[in-house]
Amino acid sequence: MNILNKKPLLLTGLLLVLTAFCASPQNQDLGITVHLRGVYECKISLLPLTGPKALKPILEVAGVKNGKTARLVVPAEYLPGQFVLRFDYKEKQESTPYPSEKNILMSKQNLELWSNPKYANNPDSTWFQKGEKENSAFALFSEENSRKMKNLGVLQAFLLNYDQPESNFYNQGIGEYEIRRRDYNQWLNTQTIRDSALFASNIYRFSKVPEISWKGSERDRERSLISHYFDEMDFSNPNLIRTSQLTEWMDTYVNLNMKSAISVVLRDSIISGVARSAIEKSKTGSSIVYGWMVDYFYKGFEANNIPAGMKVLEPYLNDPLCLTSKRQEIGRRLKGMESLIPGIKAPDIQLNDATGRKFDLKSWNPPTQYILLFFWSADCSHCIETVADLYPWQQQAANKQRISVAAVGLNDSEPIVKIWDQKIKDLPGWLHVNAIGGVQSKVANDYYILATPVMVLLDSKTKEIISMPVSVRELQSIVK
């Protein structure tokens, strides 16, 4: 959920071709047999698109030669599901591996695939076995759906761009659009019924187009779209959480609402209301979807450091029908919000710094008015962006006399620690320590940190918390 920088979409975000899956795992493993051709050698990997291991390889077969066959056995816990089948292939023995990918659906059927990785998405070069159901049905649906969306899109473009909205011609266009919209949605219903035995049918409804009022300004149209956004969604369907497109669908809804958020304060207010409304909608359906919705907003609030949003989630923690997987994390964050407040002495930190010397926050007395505890990790893109703003500002002569920085690395694996070791070489002047265990470390627990970056501003003499700024700009407004 990107609630400030991602541009909202009015209609294009709604006309998506989506895939679908069942929410309940299958009882048995399934196999994928890949017959390789057209390249010298290939590594074949399988990555799920949803769940705790989303976009991470769960299966891998390396060194598959041209003309040979590879078999991957997909554990039942990932089924049914949507996956990326990734090929890292060499055209020649001396070639550098080059990647290609193909999205696939798996539910109850073993898959057999003949593939030339260079053309992984060309049906003339990569195809499934005869009688394959899920991917074949979805391909047919997608092709027909694309044609029908084009017809509707012509009228959308007309209504969005016509310069005489009070004319009879424009009103006739509105009437024709509404007829086509209803016909299109009815066609989607028919396809869902037709393919009801297939998992792919479960999410056809994501392509449905909500009702919209074409009268008034662009913002009026957006408000109308927001008010009807959930009309066609069946939250009682637990299959929703098996699709990565559910997140995209919710991102579009959030960004439509956030278009008017011109400040951080307004952002926090709007997104809190959006979360409450969306969760209450999902609450009437499946407990699985209800829990997913709470998880979705938790991730957004944590990533963007929105305490007001966290408070919105508190009532749902005690609801036994809410099957959130983030109950412990949300409770921990709420406890931290109550514990780490201005005027409270910061928990002590005892770690070795990057040179191996012992560091003790309690006894550290730099000759500055402020101490900034900057919790970050080397594989966090938002952290790197924050460093790019924070470091040059803090290194200015006047600011170096006001504020000292203790940068606490929350790197949870050896490969990330190695990256951290390299990055801190470019950040002299900061005190660098690394907490083994990352966000599961004692330091992270003491400061209730579940995601990075986090900044805590202290009085350097008393070690009392002054503020927990959410941005470098906010920090700059305090340290003057």
pLDDT digits (tens, 9 = 90+) for 284-293: 999 999 999 9
Same domain? 357 vs 439: yes
Report, as an integer, the average pLDDT of 41-60.
94
Nearest to 168 by CA among 160, 156, 176, 180: 176
Q: Are residues 128 and 184 in the same domain?
A: no
Structural contact between residues 107 and 195, judged by C-beta atoms closer than 8 angstroms: no
Tens digits of per-residue pLDDT, 424-437? Answer: 999 999 999 999 88
Q: Are residues 366 and 297 in the same domain?
A: no
Radius of gyration of the chain (CA): 26
For 359-391, write each residue's pLDDT tens digit: 999 999 999 999 999 999 999 888 999 999 999
Q: Does 138 map to a domain?
A: no
Per-residue confidence (pLDDT) for residue 5, from 0 to 100: 40
- My answer on whether 85 and 53 are in the same domain is yes
pLDDT in tens, 176-188: 999 999 999 999 9
Do 199 and 92 lie in one domain? The reply is no
CB-based contacts of 189, cutoff 8 Å, min separation 6: none
Q: Is residue 5 part of a domain?
A: no
The one-letter code for the residue type at 454 is V
- Strand 454-459 relative to strand 465-467: parallel, antiparallel, unpaired? antiparallel
What is the CATH classification number for the domain harbouring 384? 3.40.30.10
Which domain-ending residue is among 286, 313, 336? 336
pTM confidence score: 0.76
One domain for residues 197 and 250:
yes
Are residues 298 and 329 located together in one domain of the fold?
yes
Cα separations in angstroms, 435 against 54, 352, 354? 26, 9, 11
Confidence of residue 24 (pLDDT cuts 50, 70, 90): low
What integer pLDDT is reported at residue 386 of this predicted model? 94
386 and 418: one domain? yes
How confident is the model over 238-265, as pLDDT tens digits? 989 998 889 999 999 999 999 888 887 8
Whether 4 maps to a domain, the answer reads no
For 96-110, write each residue's pLDDT tens digit. 999 999 999 999 999
The pLDDT score that the predictor gives to residue 31 is 97
Domain ends where: 103, 132, 161? 132
pLDDT at 344 over 90: yes
Position 177 scores a pLDDT of 93
Domain presence at residue 283: yes
Over residues 56-84, the mean pLDDT reads 95
Residue 35 has pLDDT above 90, yes or no: yes
Residue 77: which pLDDT band, with cuts at 50, 70 and 90? very high
- Rounded (10°) angle between helices 245-258 and 218-227: 140
Q: Please state the domain count of the chain.
A: 3
Domain that holds residue 456: 350-478
Terminal-to-terminal C-alpha distance of the chain = 33
Kindly report each contact of residues 348-356 with a partner whose C-beta sits within 8 Å and lies 24 or more positions away, as own/partner: 349/373, 349/406, 349/408, 349/433, 349/443, 349/446, 351/408, 351/433, 351/434, 351/435, 351/443, 352/433, 353/431, 353/432, 353/433, 354/421, 354/424, 354/432, 354/433, 354/434
> Is residue 198 in some structural domain?
yes
Residue 61: give its domain's CATH number.
2.60.40.180
pLDDT for 19 beyond 90: no
pLDDT of residue 26: 60
10 falls within a domain: no
SS3 content of the chain, % helix, strand, coil (to 5): 45, 20, 35
Same domain, 87 and 163: no
Residues 265 and 385 both lie in one domain: no
Would residue 342 count as lying in a domain? no
**Confidence grade of residue 1 (pLDDT, cut at 50, 70, 90):** low
At residue 9 the predicted structure's pLDDT band, cuts being 50, 70 and 90, is very low
pLDDT tens figures, 153-178 = 888 888 888 888 889 999 999 999 99
Q: Which of these three, 336, 367, 392, is where a domain ends? A: 336
Please indicate, yes or no, whether residues 464 and 370 belong to a single structural domain of this protein. Answer: yes
Same domain assignment for residues 119 and 177: no
pLDDT given at position 328: 84
Q: Is 21 left (phi over 0), alpha (psi -120 to 50) or beta?
A: beta
| Domain-embedded: residue 124 | yes
Q: Higher-confidence residue: 383 or 328?
A: 383
Q: Supply the mean pLDDT for the chain.
A: 89
The model's confidence at residue 4, banded by pLDDT at 50, 70 and 90, is very low
**pLDDT for the residue 6:** 36
